[in-house]
Structure 1
Amino acid sequence: MTDHTITLCFHEEAGQVDRDLLNAITATLERDTFSVMELNLAKASNKTITSHFKASEVVIAYGGDGTVHHVLQHLLTLSEPPTFAIIPGGTANDFARTLNMPINPVKAAETIINQQTKQIDVGQFNDRYFLNFFGIGLVTETKQAVSASESKQTFGRFSYYLNSLQTLNAPEEPFSVTVKGDNHTYEGNAMMVMVGNGQYTGGVRAFFNQADMTDGAFDVLIIKNVSARSLFDIVKANITPDPKQLEGIEYFRTSTLDIKTTPPQQIDCDGEDGGVTPVTLKVLPKHITMITGETSLFQNLQNKR
């Protein structure tokens, strides 16, 4: 007899999902006391998605960061969203890594059965929510200029952007920005503004190694005048320095953030298009329950404090 209902979300167009693997994930979950409803987001209406989520105890996003972002937007329209879980199926799988979910999808399904949960912070701006990353500047400019290549598979999204920028010899033009946090203001030129809630960007822990998704604060990096070459070297080497010690980088933590730029800048929100600046961000503390691995990275961080 089944006690729990899961909605297993994926995005399938033109046979992109490995059906054998999807069946193995479903079979693994149903070995326990779960009843699994599969939901193809590519074919489901908003009404159908909402109906499935309301009927579920656990909602799983199986796919990459874009699928996770899509599911999150629907979950947080509910007054009492179900527990959220991720089965990695993309290139970077940034948020799943911070949660210490196994990258192997079947092993991730086995981890979900254990139902170890944490209350996780969520970032919000306008009517959009994000779990991992918000950025403007260099990241979005290069993303728009270059199509996907082998570099993305090799190094992950963020280092792929920087590698592509070098290959094209694209100009590194700064923009004017005013950034206001709870107790910190920056006004001047920048190449990039990065706001982290999770610890990974593009599959590596290069900049947000101290981020804690349960502390009610963003980690903010303003990249003022660092060359693309030096940024790429940091990411490729997977170095995790103290950002306060990096020349040309300003770092602070805040629960709210107001960003104004000249000219307006495109927004990258968990790898998805988030519109343009100006924008105001805020943390929604411990806003959603998520399933984590046995010992997640941010739990290790808390234990060291």
Structure 2
Amino acid sequence: MFGRTLIIANPVAGKGEGQEYAQALRTVLEETYQNECTIKVTEGDDDAFEWSKQAIDEGFESVLCLGGDGTVSQTVAGLLQNKERPRFAFIPLGTVNDLARALGYSMNPQKAIERMKDVEIDTLDIGQINDQYFINVVAVGPIPESVMQTDSDDKNRLGAFAYVIDGFTAFFSEKGYDLHIVDADGVETDIVSNLLLIGLTNSIGGIEIMNPEAKYNDGLMYLAAIRGHNPMDTIRGVLEGGIFETDKERLLLMESSQFQITTQESQDVPTNVDGDPGPALPLDLQVLHQALEIYVPRNRRRILG
């Protein structure tokens, strides 16, 4: 099924065990599918991008990566540089692993590797924001600004709690942005918000809080923005019932295949894209519907309806 396979490993991911997990993955694939696997270990920031970009020309039929959301994003971006693309999968070794949760991958790396013995092929939407890609979420506001400063050592030691620590103070700040949003149908909306999220899946920050009907290949993005009322009531409602069950007076909720987001703010309004700094506003976002073929566990929790 996998054919000739390229395995890209981030050696510092998975608490420094990325290379060892890559060796385990190669053993599982070669014993199960009798295929040829090549392991490449990243050293520079652009290695995953360059190697996945070159994979189709080098005769690879599948590209698998091991790492966090950053490594996965880089690998996906490289694959998308060509019209013909190898099939894709990954072993989640990061802090939050939102896409992995949506796909039904195990958060335990060894279990995720073992489950590659029984997979099926599905399709995956990818998001585009201006001239770059994203696999899960774009965020605007003081929380994502704060989270961008989260130290890598803190993420390894504290996991997702590191983001909570850095984002807590920002959530209760008075800072907010005047935003103008236009969807694919031309519907225009104005809002002042200190947190706006646009997700491709149901999981954001490791918590399944977006639309429970969201699917990873439905061609839609899901937008949720806090309107700026009592922040404690808003976050309590989100955690208890999910964003789409929270009082609509506190939240702006939209879904579309495209969004344009602009602002009249005099200062730059930064973004966070899959956990890394993204472009400042204005933003042009669209879904690349079913852009990749991806291997998913055959016995995963069904989310495709």
Q: Give the TM-score normalised by the residue count of structure 2.
A: 0.85
* 1:210 CA displacement: 2.8
* 1:254 CA displacement: 0.6
Distance 1:238 1:108 in 2: 29
Contact 2:128–2:134 (Cα < 8 Å) also in 1: yes
Structure 1 counterpart of 2:190: 187
Task: For residues 165-220 of structure 1, give each alpha carbon's deviation from its aligned partner in whole angstroms, at most 9, with x where no partner exists.
Answer: 43578623111100111243211311122111012111111234332122111111
Instruction: Give the AA of the match of 1:52.
Output: A
Contact 2:139–2:195 (Cα < 8 Å) also in 1: yes
Structure 2 counterpart of 1:256: 258
| Unpaired stretches in structure 2, ≥5 consecutive residues | none
Task: For residues 134-167 of structure 1, give each alpha carbon's deviation from its aligned partner in whole angstroms, at most 9, with x where no partner exists.
Answer: 11113322124554676886572xx754543435
* 1:94 CA displacement: 0.8
Identity %: 22
Structure 1 counterpart of 2:35: 34
- Aligned CA RMSD, in angstroms, stands at 3.0
Return 168-177 or 286-295, whichever deviates more. Answer: 168-177
Structure 1 counterpart of 2:221: 218
Structure 1 counterpart of 2:71: 67
Note closer, same or farther for the CA distance 1:152–1:254 as it changes in structure 2 (3 Å cut). Answer: farther
Note closer, same or farther for the CA distance 1:145–1:18 as it changes in structure 2 (3 Å cut). Answer: closer
SS in 2 for 1:81: coil
Which one of 275, 280, 286 corresponds to residue 279 of structure 2? 275
- Paired residue total: 297
Structure 2 counterpart of 1:23: 23
Instruction: Give the AA of the match of 1:79.
Output: K
Structure 2 counterpart of 1:4: 3
* 1:21 CA displacement: 3.1
Contact 2:196–2:223 (Cα < 8 Å) also in 1: yes
Contact 1:132–1:199 (Cα < 8 Å) also in 2: no
Which one of 65, 77, 80 corresponds to residue 81 of structure 2? 77
Instruction: Give the AA of the match of 1:41.
Output: T
Distance 2:144 2:73 in 1: 17
* 1:238 CA displacement: 6.4
Distance 1:3 1:291 in 2: 9
Note closer, same or farther for the CA distance 1:253–1:13 as it changes in structure 2 (3 Å cut). Answer: closer
Structure 2 counterpart of 1:206: 209
